[in-house]
Amino acid sequence: MLAELARQPHARAVLAPVLAPGGRPSHAYLFHGPGGAGKRSAARAVASELLATGSPQPEDARARVVSGAHPDLTWVTPSGAHEILVADIDAPVVAASSRTPFESSRRVFVIERVDELGEEAANRMLKTLEEPAPYVHLILLTERLAEVLPTIRSRCQLVRFDASSAEDLAGQIEALGVSRATAIACTRLALGDGARARELASQEGAALREAAERFARAAVAGDVSARDLCSQLIATIRRRGEVTRAELEGRAAAELELYPRKERKRIETEWTDRIKRVRRRVETSALDLALQLVALWFTDLMCLSWGAEDLVRHCDRCSQLAADLGGAPLQLRAAVELVEETRARFALNVTEELACEALAYRLEHVLAQ
């Protein structure tokens, strides 16, 4: 447990005593801090300790929490485009919290991105937070504490997680098995977001970087049609969604086994709807990250044109950037603004393919001036 909090003195000070033998953990914690600060891994570690307590096989209980197979752990990820839906927490949390544990002496509910909890869903949660059963423990996660509803925040014990330094984060990324140069680049490209840095260092992240780089370089060169330029990028995004779908279907199958046969049809329908929403959300997030990388490619070209090599974020792609030099800073700045404008449009649920094609046409026009 303490290993998960080694770089988080505040969180360690709050959590270590209550997880020690004889400790009395709170019924609700609110873990807050920037992306990649370790909130999710800490939540899983806390859940492991809570569910291992009193178990005849504590190590087995911990292992099943880590694998996501413990029946007394419920992990909620918002499935709405921009909010936690009532369906996300009604049956999985509110109703389930009134039922006694399957095998442990406790039930643990982890809810991610609780800042996206709307008024209606929050109202459904209040009774659970105000009058929880003695065996219920909730761990809420957020990167935006100020946006968490006061009615939720005031009923939880706050646990702060601090961002890692760039050097520390790069070391963590390098420990995942990538080169030092790649680790530094992923850290810089993530703009301080540890979760995105780790994502970029993964195999899927490397594919996303490659697709974004092709998109940006083709726009600079003006030698690829908009449709071809976008189809490659969108195909990479869709593969991310397919991986997510497969993972969620596996979780759904495992959960169905926990319910009586007469309830399985309803649960299966709920999971089908949830998988569709989560898959779209994952694809939208991946496309947003890809366009962030495209914008940073143009920004890095501006830095090189000004002689500010130390500010380059694609620091493992210096030769490729040098080959793309030639555009005027004003053109590159306009290109960055076009990309950021497109990223903002995705909040309006626009069609990804059409938005990317429009962006490609506009980029080729701007960069050709």
Q: What is the pLDDT of residue 340?
A: 94
Q: How far is CA 97 from CA 93, 148, 151, 219, in A?
A: 6, 21, 19, 53
For residue 16, give both structure tokens: 């270590």
Q: What is the pLDDT of residue 27?
A: 95
Q: pLDDT tens for residues 112-134? A: 999 988 888 888 899 899 989 99
Rounded Cα gap, residues 43 and 322, in angstroms: 44
Q: pLDDT tens for residues 278-332? A: 888 888 889 999 999 999 999 999 999 998 999 999 999 999 999 998 767 888 9
Average pLDDT, the chain: 88
Q: pLDDT tens for residues 20-51? A: 888 899 999 999 998 878 898 899 999 999 99
Q: What is the pLDDT of residue 207?
A: 92
- CATH fourth-level superfamily of 2-160: P-loop containing nucleotide triphosphate hydrolases (3.40.50.300)
Q: pLDDT tens for residues 196-211? A: 898 999 999 999 999 9
Q: In which region does residue 247 sit, left (phi positive, over 0), alpha (psi from -120 to 50) or beta (all else)?
A: alpha
Task: List the domain boundaries for the chain.
Answer: 2-160, 202-367
Is the pLDDT score of 107 beyond 90? yes
Q: For a pLDDT cut of 90, what percent of the chain falls above it?
A: 44
Q: What is the pLDDT of residue 327?
A: 67
Q: What is the pLDDT of residue 137?
A: 96
Q: What is the pLDDT of residue 222?
A: 78
Q: What is the pLDDT of residue 276?
A: 85
pTM exceeding 0.85: no
Confidence of residue 106 (pLDDT cuts 50, 70, 90): very high
Rounded Cα gap, residues 120 and 132, in angstroms: 19
Which of 2-11, 103-112, 262-271 tops mean pLDDT?
103-112
Is the pLDDT score of 158 beyond 70? yes
Question: Hey, what long-range contacts does 10-13 have (CB within 8 A, 24 or more apart)?
Answer: 10/159, 10/160, 10/161, 10/162, 11/42, 11/159, 11/160, 11/161
Q: pLDDT tens for residues 255-293? A: 777 777 887 888 788 788 878 888 888 888 899 999 999
